[in-house]
Structure 1
């Protein structure tokens, strides 16, 4: 079902974007991990105490005593959520909606390749990109932690945490890809593909910002990514990971089916 030529073409078009996001993530991850020392942790905790609502809004909390807890607090509440999400939005739009909007999808479908094969191959491109970013971050975190603070990182818990992150980012990628497949107009594809994850994150921020708004968290899928629960090995957090991954499979499958049957008018 995979067209390797089209897959290589799609990955060739994504590698520059992947390098840019990898470079940005390298900078942020390196800076945050380097702060895991008593003086810098004290400074970050002071910020959290001085601006508790703002820090809590982006998932940052004070008082982390372990390396994995520190990383969970200062990396997995904003940085490692937003940047891969932006990648998914840009990539999904480029792979499907932009081709349809510009009419270049005609050339892809004119080849002796089934439409289902085309959309499945494009889906593999975005999924590969998301997996590559999460894998890169995982390796980067291990290297930096072991180089700067040997023995402090609980690698097993980090792998579990990043498995949850991968499930979440695949779910977001599925939303973006589905919108790209549903709408032929690039504006609507980008608007909803970016708007739904962005709104979900804003709702998550509001629930963290004010205790009175805490119940809003049940309206956003970000709640299923429970970093503290994953680190602690809680069954509910593991179930949340599974739900996100299953949801990603459903979203990507729906995108393939819808695109295969839609009237493109090209």
Structure 2
């Protein structure tokens, strides 16, 4: 089903990239948890009132009285969404687009492995790397929360929040993946595979500013992240997660089929 030598090569070559992004997210996670102070909730609300446009644009607006609310507002409002997306864009460029653009895909296809086996191996490598990133950061968040604020974190909601974040990461990476599978040159991958996810974040930032711009939220899949629903214990979390998962599956399947059937620049 997959090429184990290629899979091992992918994971080894991605270790440095993975460690860099784990370090970045670990730093932000630990610092933001350290900054939590229930007594400062009113002060933070004042900042939101003083700079409503800026704070809302970057997703840092909302309740912050409890640790899970604080994390949802100041970590999962922007940082835990954008940074993994950058990781996915770089990773997919490394594991898919680079082979096609450089013509070195011919080397892989000259092995006894079929196109189907190669692309499934690359998909598995991408998804496992994303899972490792999110799981490690989740663990770091749990450790930091327990050591700094024992029993203050709603662990169940925190894990749900990270599961939804991972599903969003799958969907966003699917955009980059399907673009890579249909592109011959890196410039097209960067234009659409990287450009569309970034555009979604820009649209989300504009929608967060409210007013007439709020309607823009329907033009980005980031709106499907049910962070507020999870924190509030509201319904609709499962449906949002299933939609994100469905988007990811459709994009990866379309990308794989396109890669298998297309003429590659060898």
TM-score where L is the length of structure 2 = 0.96
2:132 pairs with 1:132: yes
Deviations 1:141-190 (A, max 9, x none): 10000000001011111111111001100001111111111101111012
Task: Say whether 1:225 aligns with 2:193.
Answer: no
Q: How far off is 1:137 after superposition?
A: 1.2
Q: Higher mean Cα deviation, 41-50 or 143-152?
A: 41-50
How many equivalent pairs are there? 266
Q: Which residue of 1 aligns with 2:150?
A: 150
Counterpart CA distance in 2 for 1:173 and 1:101 is 19
- 2:69 is aligned with 1:69: yes
Q: Are the structure 2 counterparts of residues 168 and 201 from structure 1 closer, same or farther at C-alpha, using a change threshold of 3 Å? A: same
Q: Is this contact kept in 1: 2:56–2:209, CA < 8 A?
A: yes
Cα deviations across residues 195-243 of structure 1 (Å, max 9, x unaligned)? 1111111111101113221111011101110211122343323211110
Partner secondary structure for residue 152 of structure 1: coil
**For structure 1, which segment, 40-49 or 18-27, has the greater mean C-alpha deviation from structure 2 after superposition?**
40-49
DSSP 3-state at the match of 1:235 = coil
How far apart, in 2, do the equivalents of 1:190 and 1:82 lie? 16
Contact preservation (8 Å) 1:2, 1:121:
yes
**SS of 2:236 mapped into structure 1:** helix
Deviations 1:4-36 (A, max 9, x none): 110010111111001000111111111110111
1:99 paired residue number: 99
Contact 2:101 2:184 in 1 (8 A): yes
Q: CA–CA distance in 2 between the matches of 1:207 and 1:135? A: 29
Does residue 171 of the first structure (1) align with residue 171 of the second (2)? yes
Deviations 1:67-116 (A, max 9, x none): 11110000001110011000110111111111111111110110000111
Q: Which one is further off, 60-69 or 203-212?
A: 60-69
Q: Give 1:76-87 correspondences, 5 Å limit.
A: 76-87=76-87
Aligned to 1:6: 6
Name the SS for the 1:6 alignment partner. Answer: helix
Deviates more, 1:193-202 or 1:224-233: 224-233
C-alpha contact 1:224 1:237 (8 A) present in aligned 2: no
Which structure 2 segments of 5+ residues have no match? none
Secondary structure of the corresponding residue to residue 76 of structure 1: coil
Cα drift, residue 42 of structure 1: 4.7
RMSD over equivalenced CA pairs, Å: 1.3
- Structure 2 partner of 1:44: 44
Tell me the residue number matched to 2:186. 186
Aligned twin of 1:24 = 24
Q: How high is the TM-score relative to the length of structure 1?
A: 0.96
Whole-angstrom distance in 2 between the partners of 1:189 and 1:207: 26
